[in-house]
Chains A and B, each alone.
Chain A
Amino acid sequence: MSKEKTYVEDVDRSLYDFRYDENDKDFYKVDSGLTPEIVEQISEEKNDPKWMRDLRLKSLEIFNQKGMGQWGPPIDGLNMDDIVTYVRPKTKMSANWEDVPKDIKDTFERLGIPQAERKSLAGVGAQYDSELVYHNVRKEVAEQGVVYTDIESALHGEYADMIKEHFMHLITPHDHKFAALHGAVWSGGSFVYVPKGVSVEIPLQSYFRLNAPGAGQFEHTLIIVDEGADLHFIEGCSAPKYNVANLHAGAVELFVGKNARLRYSTIENWSKNMYNLNTKRAKIEEGGKMEWVSGSFGSHVSYLYPMTILNGAGAQMEYTGITFAGKGQNLDTGMKVVHNAPNTTSVVSAKSISKDGGISTYRSSVVVNNKAKGAKSSVSCASLMLDDISRSDTIPAMDVRTQDADVGHEAKIGRISDEAVFYLMSRGISEEDARAMIVSGFADNVSKELPLEYAVEMNNLIRLEMKGTIG
């Protein structure tokens, strides 16, 4: 019997793909392109201290000197001369949704952010284009001494020294071209400080919405979880689809203190004209624990590899991620970990799904330095191909420099098992539903790590992605 190939339709993204036309009188924006004058203009607009202005200009120099790597998906469609690096709604950040301009408030209402805040979050930051328009933290959380604010306020307020001490110290402009770009034009983002011994019981969330066509978003997230403290931070993002390239080059710097724990969850759902060139890095002290939970569904091109530096004895890292690449998407995701101290551990579970011509690449590095005696690392990655017009690559690297380490890696690539589909169909389930169930089960490692509301959202995204998978 000849086997018929199945092909997959594109996703219905109407949930995220809505827009409000931006009226010039309501927005301040710089010219497109990247020049010292534009960088100075952004710095002026944000009333930067001198060290920050110097950092921006130095970063621009580095950006202009650095070339692109010879690896990863092509980004030929991204022309920095066409990108507007700063678009600010002409409104002040508020802690009250009623003060947020109606179109912007409606946007976040449709995305369910205020509702989620009421039900299950300890605090929310909402960024629209280049600036935060809403930021609030629950009173009882603030009373614990937890600081959750926009990074500009922190830069000019009582935490200015803390910002200066940490800002772009973990991710430096020298790291790569887009880290340098970020250093030059960053805007928006959140600052979180959790004091010693404080456990934040329910998550904080930042949501990033990029509405302007041809714009870039360069938010900076800086989180410091002090000794013995505990935090779950959720990051969400989306954008309407345009026919021009948009760019996201944010930076996330996380400092996890001795015996502290930080979970950083991301559901990334940028539109399919987005170049998502984001950088995330965490440094973990003795006995601390970093947990990454990552779902990548959107973007035209993604380069995303959260990096963890296990810097103190007994520090731990867990990474749980799924990437779903559909039509027109080339998603290059994974992780990096450096074992830099004794008895550190890392556990990685990464999954990817490719369909409808989508390209998914899992890329990783596990480095175990000579100091990391007793280090253990276990990496497992699995890739599912849903048709034969897609592509899935696995590129994991390991560099081990001590005898006293235990490093394991396993990778699998394959398709949905015909036997599993047949079994479910014999129980009265349609083929489409059977395939969707199997894919949902495949992604279960991520959804079960998310709070219920986000797990539901992720499963909905998968269901949407799987619609029409039977041709």
Chain B
Amino acid sequence: MTMSAQEQATNLVVNRLPGQTWNWLKMNDAHVAVDTQSGTLEAETVKPAALAEGADLAPIGGGMGPDYDRWIQTAEPAAYHTEAGQHIEEPLKLTYTLKGGATTASATRFDIAADSALTIIMDFAGQSDNAAGTAGFSTKLHLAKGSAVTLVQIHRGGAGQRIFNDVGAVLEDDARFEVVHLVMDAADTYVGCQADLKGDRSSFKADVAYLVQNEDLLDTNYIALHHGKKTESAINSAGVLRDRAEKLFRGTIDFKYGAAGSVGNEKEDVMLMDDTVVNKTIPLILCAEEDVEGNHGATIGKLDDELMFYMESRGMNADDIYELIAKSKLEAASRLIPDQAVREDVQAYIEAHQRAGKE
């Protein structure tokens, strides 16, 4: 994407792989040029009355890395906190309308008190004119002992947009952090997500679903840092690539010394719909502790022969089977959205989007 003459491009290194590998693979990180003198993008906010504003957090690392944090610091952050023991049923909804012809940044901070629970839904929606623009988001959370957060982030950013989305969380004992990422649009999308499982028995789960098409790019970096004992992580990524799309999935389970009894699982399932796509996958397991269990599985390419046979024996042709399975991958993630209205809206979007992709 070209930048206007007025923009002051700064080269940023984002989504750096925690364990580096051969440079020729071009998977170690992403180099991007961004106008870091950007304006702040405000969200349209539907806030539960029980949720208080303000949060005083120490710096928290994300998946995108320190270069990105320096840019995002230029935005005035929105901040929220819960009180101890407070279970807020109604989700916090933040809807961002991405601007054409501009670079904007947005930062949100959450201080989640002990034994409290919160659901956050962030919707990154593009304008109907698909105007080009760049937007950077940062969501940082501190989850105190026994707290729980479900964070849903929906990318339907508009065809001309370049979007950066960074998440970072630090979890104390018994805290639980669940992330749902649905990526369905935007020209270039960069997603970083890091959970530091600092406390014993803390857990992190990421469910990621995507449809990347046209000449779009999706570049991701999910990291689970296991510091505490008996911590658990699960990173599940499922998606579809069409046309000349390119996707790079980085997923890291990092067992630090002392994380005894911890378990980490990663799974990636990618369906390639055209012969012109580029799919890159690099799932890392880093291990400095004996008493752990780490697993990774990836399936890339065609649908399983047995599944194809079963579906074809029910009268479907191969193209329809692929379309059906592609849709089901997005819908499976959409079912994890806890708010019914948002869920239905997203499912309608998937339906329309799918139809457009087919045409």
Contacts and interface: CB of A to CB of B under 8 A. Distances in A.
Contact of A414 (B273, B283, B294, B299): B294
B296 A409 contact: yes
Contacts of A383: 285, 287
Interface string A136-157: 0000000000000000000000
A392 interface: yes
B284 interface: yes
Going nearest first, the 8 A-B pairs with the smallest beta carbon separation are: A71-B20, A413-B294, A388-B290, A407-B300, A409-B298, A405-B301, A385-B290, A411-B296
Contacts of A400: 270, 272, 278-281, 300-301
Interface in B282-310: 282-302
Given A393-B285, A405-B302, 12 more contacts: A365-B22, A385-B292, A388-B260, A398-B281, A400-B280, A403-B277, A403-B302, A406-B300, A411-B296, A412-B293, A415-B291, A415-B292
B302 A406 contact: yes
Contacts of A392: 287
Contacts of A112: none
B291 A413 contact: no
B285 A413 contact: yes
Contacts of B277: 401, 403
A44 interface: no
Interface string A98-114: 00000000000000000
A370 interface: yes
Contacts of B301: 400, 402-407
A386 interface: yes
Nearest to A397: B282
B59 interface: no
B25 A404 contact: no
Interface residues of A, number: 39
A399 interface: yes
A299 interface: no
Given A69-B23, A404-B302, A409 B274 contact: no
A391 interface: yes
Given A408-B298, A410-B295, A411-B285, A402 B25 contact: no
Contact of B295 (A370, A386, A411): A411
Interface of A: 5, 69-71, 361, 363, 365, 370, 383, 385-388, 390-415
Nearest to A413: B294
B191 interface: no
B300 A398 contact: yes
B19 interface: yes
A385 B284 CA distance: 16
12 contacts: A70-B23, A363-B21, A365-B21, A385-B289, A393-B287, A394-B284, A396-B283, A397-B281, A400-B281, A402-B272, A402-B301, A406-B301
A269 B182 CA distance: 49
Contacts of B300: 398, 400, 405-409
Contacts of B293: 412-414
Contacts of A406: 300-302
A393 to B, nearest CB: 5
Contacts of A402: 272, 275, 301
B257 interface: yes
B21 to A, nearest CB: 5
Interface in B72-115: none
A367 to B, nearest CB: 8
Nearest to B278: A401
Contacts of A415: 290-292
B23 to A, nearest CB: 6
Q: Which of B257, B277, B287, B302 has the most CB of A within 10 A?
A: B287
B21 A391 contact: no
Contacts of A396: 282-283
A394 B22 contact: no
B27 interface: yes
Contacts of B19: 71, 361, 393, 395
Contacts of A387: 290
A370 B278 CA distance: 9
Contact of A397 (B21, B260, B273, B302): B21
A400 B275 CA distance: 10
Q: Which of B21, B286, B290, B301 has the most CB of A within 10 A?
A: B290
Contacts of A407: 298-301
A370 B287 contact: no
Nearest to B26: A399
Contacts of A409: 281, 283, 296-298, 300
A259 to B, nearest CB: 26
A469 B269 CA distance: 39
A73 to B, nearest CB: 12
Nearest to B274: A403
A395 B272 contact: no
Contact of B291 (A70, A388, A397, A410): A388
Q: Which of B283, B295, B299 has the most CB of A within 10 A?
A: B283
B289 A388 contact: yes
Interface string B6-40: 00000000000001111101011000000000000
Q: Which of A398, A404, A409 has the most CB of B within 10 A?
A: A398
A381 to B, nearest CB: 9
Contacts of A405: 272, 300-302
